[in-house]
Structure 1
């Protein structure tokens, strides 16, 4: 048994001081004061929450272990305060059959420090027009389905995938990208791209495909989830679709909430991500969408790469930045401490909404009977983001050097301590 004493927990949106008793995997008591001679951790007023949930991560194994492994990626998740994640299928081999999916799930379970659920691929190798065996992969344990990294280019493929996903009652998650509108772009199309001299990607590559998909989603009744939404037009489309009863949810990544393309002042590929950083108007729109609930949740799109790759020019470097170790700190610092949203809202968007939307078996609060997937944050601790402290193999982020609050002190999974700060 373990006792965590003098922790702040959220009850009805307010922080209150409580002691928490853990027996094995389960929280057995929460009270103002618990007398016990068991192992005790003095939280000293730090914030104790159920572990955060990220529905969009890339752990790169198998196929790209020099970028990340399941072990390093899940350890990074624990350092970031996450106890449950869903891993994307752009691996080698791609988990696009029931057998491959089952093998990947077994690999996740044997290697991970946190709970790692797995996406199945919508179509073979993420690019085929014929859909995968979605029913079979669902039976093999797929949490949801996505071709993340690739947009589904034909309406017929998307329609068939939605029909199959609806049949098994699993979310279909879309990386929105119309290839015919890319034209070799590497950052957001607009004045900043022209100023730097880099080819741009129009927001229409995202929003036009989203409009197609929302019509199909309404027709099929599937739970359709929008990955890394980035444009004002896309937020407006999701808002209208929700009003019309479409079963749609959406996520936004921390970088699209905090940065616009004006942050890119030189050919620095640490700012290269897909979708790209958009305009200030787009950034303000996704933030407004997160606040009003049009955008349901935050997801990091944690995308580690080798530093040699990311040291290349914008035109040659791969898309993607890391995010799972910095997301809570960044959003707590820039959104909660500044009064833009409350801590309760941030936890709702980073924990409760993902669990509910994806029907995950993860606790959403520090309550008696809940699984002891927990994280302890020091909200008063001021820190500077440093790549030297990352557990992830990926150091590719533009947030190095930012001052943040909300350091992760400890993370527990099933009652076991899986991360402790130095």
Structure 2
């Protein structure tokens, strides 16, 4: 506790106070160990032990400790009844036989125990902050319902030549928004997770907190929350927008998108010094995902530098994989079906004497509108692999940032 209130300070049992003189090369010395309230404030109070000013608050402990040299406090403490009871007498009762010594926990067991403790703590925090947790849980059904209400009428149960020009872009928009929503869920779930507990994290790291256990607890709890959100999101969108793609592969891409957003959120949280800074950086992640995702402007229509830049957008890989999965279950249509309505018929005197032969174009699928097969597509497995690789790279980056911010 950095600056405990008097009410919180009174809940403490014992208190250890170490003091070190300014510009002194000597290590800190024990100047008090004993009951926290009111004895510690009375003993170290800035006004002296005879004053009743110790009732003001626990800050008098540090203020009083700084009022005299460390050596004087050490001598005063060693001559006090508190030292006799809590230091000298206890030292006599401590067994020093070898049979009393125990081996330290093994690294693997210690890591698992820390992971389990941290996981329980994070779950407890989620349940205590019910208002925020309910907002996170309700995001998925609300966003999914909004997608369905906007696009359901444009996607018939069975797409025909006549409905294909309107249904194909609507299908693409539904798939892209589903992946983007999942990415947003993951990012919003995690962006406050590290920066909101910097003080606790630093103190625990100075003792024996393992970085892998800490990160594993974050990914366990937030990852399971993302699983729930993605199940609800895809279940509503899949049935409401009449998707036909294989459910589990589509769910895999939605979940990878959420985990990618979660990793981005944790990285932003690790890089930020305050919660406000972390939240303000979220648009720097989400907006490029929208612009470079491939729906606002298909990838093959971008300039070559931007095509290369789009390779770094996770939304592009999720969209490319999902639209190929959906295209496999949708009928193929002629290229002319996507063209705008023909111009009005020419006057009789301007029509050719012999009408041109009808050209039958090659059939194309829905994905061709955004990822033409003639230009070469990445396979579904490649898209999933790239998303997984991005997540692993971000996990490594988070670990490096946290390690670099450890107190030396």
Do both proteins adopt the same fold according to a TM-score greater than 0.5, normalized to the shorter chain?
Answer: no
| TM-score, normalization by structure 2 | 0.24
**Larger helix share, 1 or 2:** 2
| TM-score, normalization by structure 1 | 0.23
**Larger strand share, 1 or 2:** 1
